[in-house]
């Protein structure tokens, strides 16, 4: 077993010959939650696509369990990485049950029936995410929040060792945001690791062990408390930061409004 599940070395990635990310290096180990944060367009999704092999590298290397990402076959990689992109093309006429079952076929191969073990894995995930009542509904019938929870469940059905998640809390009610983050915490305790792009800095500040702040040519990498400091967040996002019980709380910057000040 390799010491790091993912080892990113001097990574440069982007589109059309233009690098969105430059000179980025970090390593993700078991039990760690890496939060990728930064303003819109800073390269959060680009980084996750590079890690999963969806986007080719301009420079540098991404090692997954000690092997270059280019050397993994897609079906083989699905055993190791569970990937939740922001957008994905889905057959909306599938039922939730059918969609979850597809998450097991990378192990079985096409046209092979599910085993009792496969069904047991699906049942455990359905109970964990609490989506039993959705199983017979078609994907097109779901709200965006319900669909996001189902997509998260579909990823867990693969039984990966590493989760790569792009805005996993999008469209979720506050109760389900905390549910997903608590599930992620429990998975870390069981020997998994997570790297994900997050917009909700206030929420993720209470969970992340490490963070990457994308801010142009000088990304900031390290332990979450250091990277997500008051100074760094205020500079990157143009907000005021206070801390409450170890969490970040964001406020609009004080500025003149009609001769007065906004607090």
**Run of H or E including 115:** none
Give the model's pLDDT for residue 180: 96
Residues 212, 224 within the same domain? yes
Residues 135, 205 within the same domain? no
- The CATH number that applies at residue 202 is 3.40.50.300
pTM: 0.91
Residue 12 is part of which domain span? Answer: 1-80+160-228
- Taking the CA of residue 172 as centre, how many other CA atoms within 13 Å lie in the half-sphere pointing to its CB? 22
51 close to 62: Cβ distance less than 8 angstroms:
yes
Residues 142, 117 within the same domain? yes
Q: Model confidence over 75-85: pLDDT tens digits?
A: 889 889 999 99
Domain presence at residue 244: no
Q: Model confidence over 82-110: pLDDT tens digits?
A: 999 988 778 889 999 999 999 888 776 66
Residues 7, 75 within the same domain? yes
Residues 38, 9 within the same domain? yes
Report residue 24: phi and psi, to 5°.
Answer: -105, 125
Residues 70, 181 within the same domain? yes
Place of tokens 């590493």: 162
Looking at the 3D structure of the chain, how many domains does it have?
Answer: 2
Q: Model confidence over 9-66: pLDDT tens digits?
A: 999 999 998 999 999 999 999 999 999 999 999 999 999 999 999 999 999 999 999 9
């Amino acid at each position: 077993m390799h010491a790091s599940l993912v080892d990113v070395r001097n990574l440069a990635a982007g589109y059309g010959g233009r690098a969105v990310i430059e000179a980025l290096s970090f390593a993700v180990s078991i039990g760690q939650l890496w939060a990728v944060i930064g303003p819109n367009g800073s390269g959060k999704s680009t980084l996750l696509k590079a890690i999963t092999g969806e986007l080719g590298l301009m420079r540098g290397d991404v090692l997954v369990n000690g092997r270059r990402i280019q050397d993994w076959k897609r079906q083989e990689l699905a055993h190791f990485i569970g990937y939740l992109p922001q957008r994905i093309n889905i057959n909306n006429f599938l039922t939730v049950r059918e969609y979850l079952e597809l998450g097991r076929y990378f192990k079985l191969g096409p046209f092979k029936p599910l085993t009792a073990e496969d069904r047991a894995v699906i049942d455990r995930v359905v109970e964990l995410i609490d989506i039993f009542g959705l199983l017979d509904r078609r994907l097109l019938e779901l709200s965006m929040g319900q669909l996001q929870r189902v997509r998260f469940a579909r990823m867990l059905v693969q039984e990966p060792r590493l989760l790569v998640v792009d805005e996993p809390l999008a469209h979720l009610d506050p109760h389900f945001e905390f549910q997903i983050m608590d599930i992620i915490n429990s998975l870390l305790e069981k020997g998994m690791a997570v790297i994900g792009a997050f917009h909700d800095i206030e929420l993720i500040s209470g969970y992340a062990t490490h963070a990457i702040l994308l801010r142009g040519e000088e990304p900031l990498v390290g332990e979450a408390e250091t990277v997500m400091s008051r100074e760094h967040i205020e500079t990157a996002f143009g907000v005021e930061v206070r801390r409450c019980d170890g969490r970040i709380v964001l406020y609009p910057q004080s500025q003149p409004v009609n001769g007065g000040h906004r607090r």
